[in-house]
A and B are shown apart, each in its own frame.
Chain A
Amino acid sequence: MTVALQIQNLSRHFNDLVAVDNISFEIRQGEIFGLLGPNGAGKTTTLSMLATMLEPTSGSATVNGIDIRKDPDGVRKSIGIVFQDQSLDEELTAWENMDFHGRLYRIPKATRNRRITELLTLVELNDRRDDIVKTFSGGMRRRLEIARGLLHYPAVLFLDEPTLGLDPQTRNHLWQYIATLAQDNGITIILTTHYMEEADRLCDRIAIIDHGRIIAIDTPKNLKDGLGGDLVTIGSPEPAAVAAALREPWVARVETHNDNVVVSLKNADRHVSSIVTLLNTLQIPITSITIHKPTLEDVFLSFTGKTIREEEAGIKEQMRMHQKMLRH
C-alpha cells in the first residue's frame, strides 16, 4: 500500500477560532477520499493547508511523500486543485485557460497541446475549445476546471465542493467523470462535500468532520453498517403495541415517533415478513411499512446528534458571533 497523503496532528487556528483541531489520518494512493461535514466544519481549511495555500498552526503533513512545510513548491507540482469558487479567466477561451495553466506548470509545447486536446475531449468540451468561458454554463466551467487541474499529471487531485450549485443531472455526470478518473488513471482524489449522497456514491473512504475534528473515518458501508442495520418504519394506530411486540432478539433498536415505530435491524428485507406475520398474529393493525437503508445522514445524526442542516445553522450563528466579537 502506497500512502499518498499523511496527516499528523494538523491544526489551524484563526485568532481564537479553532478551524482545524489536531487531525490525523492517511490516504492511500488511488483512493477517492471524502471529507464530509457541514459548511464551516474545517474542510476547506484542511484542503488549503494540504495545498500549501495556508500555513498550519501546528502539526505536519506529507502529500505524495513531500512535506507541505519543507517543500511547498514540490507539493504544488504534484497536486491539482479545483477550488470551491470558480477560478477561470472568463475572458479567455477554454483552450487559452488550459494553455495558461500548462505554461505555468512548464509543460513543453508538444505535450501541452496533445494533453489539452485529450483532456478537453475527456470532459466533452473539445468542440467548444475556442469559445470564451463567459458563455459557458456552470457545469461546463466545472468540467473545464477539472480538466485544467489534471493537465500537469498530478498525483493527487483536490476537489473542493466540486458539484456545489450544479443541477442534479450535471452533478451525476460529474460524479461519473471523477470515478473514471480515479479508476483509469490511478489518481488519488480528495474531495470535500456536504452532500451526503455525493460522499456515499463516490468515495472509497470518508472522514466525517465536525467543528474541526474528525469524528468518524471509514468506508461509507462500514459507517452505515455501524448503525446496526436497516431501518424499518411501521405505521400503526397502536404504536405502543407494535413497539412492545417487536422486542425480539433480531431487532437492534426500537424507537417510537408519533404513529410510527422505527426499528433498526440487520437484513430487514428478510425479516420484514416475520414482522408482518408477528403483528398479524397479535392482531395489531398496520397502516404502512417501509424499509430504508441507512444513509450517511443517519450516520451523521448518530455521531453528532444533529442533522447536517441543523449543524450548518449552528455554525453560521457561531461565525456571525465570532465576527461580531472581532469587530468590537
Chain B
Amino acid sequence: MEIIYTIWLRNMLRFVRSKSRIIGSISMPLFFLLFLGFGLNSVVQLPGIGGNYILFLVPGMVAMSVMFTSVFSGIQVIWDKQFGFLKETLVAPVSRLEIMLGQTAGGATTAVLQGFLILVLSLFIGLQVSRVTGFLIALLFMVLIGISFTAFGIAIASRMEDMTGFQLIMNFVIFPIFGLSGALFPISSLPAWIVPVTMLDPLTYGVEGIRYGLTGVSQINPLVCFAVIGGFSLTMTAIGAFLFRKIKI
C-alpha cells in the first residue's frame, strides 16, 4: 500500500506542477463542448432525451476528458523509460505489481480531476446536478474509465520503445473508441448495423453511466453499464500488470 501511495504521490506532484498540461488537456473536450454544443444545439433534435444537445454532450465530454488524460498518464511510462526514471523505480526492492497499481491509481486520479474540471465548467453552460447520488454515480463511472484507460496506456507503454507509435495508437485505437462510444450522439440514432459495434465499445458503458448519473436518463441500464465498465477496468488492470511485469529497460 505504501509503495502504491508513493507512486501515486509522485503523479500528483507532477500533476499540480504541470499547469500547461492541465490546460492543454481540458481544452479539447471544452472546445468540442462549446463548438459542437452551441453549433448544433438548435439543429439537432434528440428524440426522447429532452432535446438539449449541449446537455446531452456534457457526459460525453467528461468521459472523453477522463479517457484521454488517463491514456496519456499510462503512456507516461514511456517517458519514464526514456528519461531513465523508470530504472530508479524498477531497481528498488518493490514488486512491479505495486509500481503498476500505483501508476494506475495516479493516472486515474489525474484523469478524474480533469474530468471533474469539465464537469464544473459545464455548470456554467446549463448543467444542473440536482441529486448528490447522481453526482456520485457519475464520479464512480469516471473513476472506472480512468482506471481502465490508464491501465490500457501502461499496457501499451510496456510494449513500446518510444513515442513514435503513439500517433498510430491515438488514431486507430483511441479515436475510434471515443467516436463509437455514443459520446457525441445517441446510440439509438445510429444505423442498425453499427449498433453492435457500439455495444462492443467499453467506453459506451462509461459514457452512458455518467449520463445516467448527471441527467437521470440513459439508453443502457446503469447496472449493465457498471458491470461492463467495472469488468473492463479489472481486465485492463490485469493485462497492464502482466505486460508491465515484462517491461524491459
Contact = CB atoms under 8 A, between A and B. Distances in A.
Interface residues of A, number: 26
A116 to B, nearest CB: 14
Q: Is the interface of B mostly helix, strand, loop or mixed?
A: helix
Contacts of A100: 6, 9-10
B155 to A, nearest CB: 22
B246 interface: no
A101 B13 contact: no
B224 interface: no
Given A96-B13, A100-B6, A100-B10, A88 B93 contact: no
Given A77-B93, A105-B93, A89 B85 contact: yes
A178 to B, nearest CB: 20
A103 B17 contact: no
A92 B15 CA distance: 11
A73 B2 contact: no
Interface string B71-92: 0000000000001110111111
B244 to A, nearest CB: 16
B94 interface: yes
A92 B93 contact: no
Contacts of B92: 76, 101, 104-105
Interface string A100-121: 1101111000000000000000
B3 interface: yes
A85 B91 contact: no
Contacts of A88: 84-85, 88
Nearest to A83: B87
A259 B226 CA distance: 88
A88 B85 CA distance: 6
Max chain B CB contacts within 10 Å: which of A76, A81, A100?
A100
Nearest to A93: B13
Max chain B CB contacts within 10 Å: which of A53, A74, A83, A89?
A89
A88 B249 CA distance: 15
B10 A87 contact: no
Contacts of B84: 83, 85-88
A85 B84 CA distance: 7
23 contacts: A52-B91, A53-B91, A53-B249, A73-B93, A76-B91, A76-B93, A83-B84, A85-B87, A86-B83, A86-B84, A87-B83, A87-B85, A87-B88, A88-B88, A89-B14, A91-B13, A91-B14, A91-B17, A96-B13, A101-B88, A103-B9, A104-B92, A104-B94
Given A77-B93, A86-B83, 11 more contacts: A53-B91, A73-B93, A83-B88, A88-B84, A88-B85, A91-B13, A104-B92, A105-B93, A106-B2, A106-B3, A132-B17
